[in-house]
Chains A and B, each alone.
Chain A
């Protein structure tokens, strides 16, 4: 049973460019959340997707957008990249049920903006 997978592993971009990161959730999970983790900091919640819709959003600008596909996989898009967007981007998945749902995290994508 594959866990959460993310691609690519590493990515280097320049300021102003756009980037797309991908996530496949754990088998049986239909909810995907994205987090940004700057160096030396804890992860920060970007947004959550369920049924192809954004359900919750953290304190991130509109340059950060996402998508969820019918197979539950998800993409994170960041436009007009800034140096400060350099971070580890983590995807987490869980089933959409009431009550507590453990988040399973992927290995992350390391984005470097030059």
Chain B
């Protein structure tokens, strides 16, 4: 079963604009991660935020976490055509450990040149 739900399911923006994707989850977590997937291939790890953190930055990525609302957001600033991909949030729980990730259904981002 899916733990997280990303919103929106699809997002289309122009190059240079910012893209914001949201993720909601159901149970208590240790960590929340965001992954990128190009054209149905392997997953690339983007950023991890721990349950005791509220915000984290990595390059053009900014992630927030609100454990009281069981939600997270991923912001990609100054988007590029190369950012076109599907983005997934994944959580790991105290019971499952970091090897048993529970993914959402993903947001398909299209960045138009």
Interface set of A (CB-CB < 8 Å, partner B): 4, 31, 33, 35, 37, 39-45, 48, 55-56, 58-59, 88, 90, 92, 94, 99-108, 110
Across the A-B interface, the 5 shortest Cβ-Cβ residue pairs: A42-B103, A105-B43, A107-B42, A105-B42, A100-B98
Q: Does B58 contact A (CB under 8 A)?
A: no
CB B39 to nearest CB in A, in angstroms, measures: 11
B36-79 residues with Cβ-Cβ distance < 8 A to A are: 40-45, 48, 50
With a 10 A CB-CB cut-off, give which of B43, B48, B105 has the most chain A CB atoms.
Answer: B43
The count of A-to-B residue pairs whose CB atoms sit within 8 angstroms is 78
Task: Please judge, given known A-B contacts A59-B1, A90-B43, whether A101 and B99 are in contact too, CB under 8 Å.
Answer: yes
Report chain B residues within 8 Å CB of A56: 96-97, 99-100
- Residue in chain A with minimal CB distance to B31: A100
Expressed in whole angstroms, the Cα–Cα distance for A45 and B42 within the complex equals 15
CB A61 to nearest CB in B, in angstroms, measures: 15
Q: Is the pair A94, B88 in contact by a Cβ cutoff of 8 Å?
A: no
